[in-house]
Amino acid sequence: MLRFAVAGTPLSTPKPGGTVEGLLRAKKLGIRAMEIEWVQNVPKNEERMAEIRETAETLGITLTVHAPYFVNLNTPDRAKLAASKRRVLDALAMAELCGASSVCVHAAFNLGLPPEKVLENVRRATEDIMRNKHALFPHVNLAYETMGKQTQFGTLEDVLKVSKEFGNYPCVDPAHMHARENGKVNSAEEWNDMFDLYATHLGTGALRHVHMHFSGIAYTAKGERHHLPLQRSDAKWRDFLKVLKKRKIEGILVCESPLLEKDTLLMQDMYRKL
């Protein structure tokens, strides 16, 4: 099954909002998955996590998490590196408590280093993070995301390599790939190549539990500028949905459009009609 996730609490959630209220609202709208956006910080309240878990389970809503943006696993600054690893670990540990299956992480900035060196630094930091898997996040996947700027770590090949090595799977964001490649990756052929590469690294079976993002996107020669509503972008999103359907891709597709639930439902409805 492929589930379409809203990226955070729906905009139409009654005040004062919050994740639990957001889950109730999502259910009413007919949405069956949510990515919890801990992009500024990770909450530490364990009772709250239990409440989210119970609510999601009762409603039949699948959860993923987005980890904080303030992470750079390639920094030469030891204090910053330790803080980065801590933020990723906190997100993974809290995801375990709230029952989320996968945590998406923006792993690193390149800081002008050659790609092999960045990959090596990310690999080493990942080793430290994964040492805590058994104790802190046995059921949660660490998903490095494909990133939209050339200054960031996150080509599809690199996130696949480091994921495979540690038994994880990445968060594939075709909108970011589209922006990073200056308008490429916007056709059935290219998305098929993308899934072929994914399957080459992780096996065909891995296409049955993907963690993906999708949205419209504004970009320049330097890559991503910001996300856009689907219908105000150049994204051939209907063609993308056709590829997903044809290849029977399963897992979670998080709609990261600024319109949140509106575009999530647009994609979900279109997918069902195909």
- State the minimum distance, in angstroms, from the CB of residue 240 to Zn ion: 18
DSSP H or E segment with residue 269 = helix 261-273
Rounded CA separation 198/192 (Å) = 10
In 102-259, which residue ranges form alpha helices assigned H by DSSP? 115-130, 133-136, 156-165, 174-180, 188-202, 237-246
- State the minimum distance, in angstroms, from the CB of residue 105 to Zn ion: 8
Residue with nearest beta carbon to Zn ion:
145
Q: Compare residues 6 and 24 and give the one whose CB is closer to Zn ion.
A: 6
- State the minimum distance, in angstroms, from the CB of residue 165 to Zn ion: 21
Contact between 214 and 240 (Cβ < 8 Å): yes
Q: Compare residues 55 and 216 and give the one whose CB is closer to Zn ion.
A: 216
Which residue reads 């994914």 in tokens? 198
The pair of structure tokens assigned to 69 is 């943006």
- State the minimum distance, in angstroms, from the CB of residue 256 to Zn ion: 7
Q: Compare residues 55 and 102 and give the one whose CB is closer to Zn ion.
A: 102
Looking at this protein, which amino acid is placed at residue 217? I
The pair of structure tokens assigned to 7 is 């990226």
What is the DSSP-derived secondary structure letter of residue 182? T
Q: Compare residues 97 and 254 and give the one whose CB is closer to Zn ion.
A: 254
Q: Compare residues 59 and 229 and give the one whose CB is closer to Zn ion.
A: 229
- State the minimum distance, in angstroms, from the CB of residue 23 to Zn ion: 21
Question: Where along the sequence are the contacts to Zn ion (CB under 5 A)?
Answer: 145
Rounded CA separation 37/94 (Å) = 12
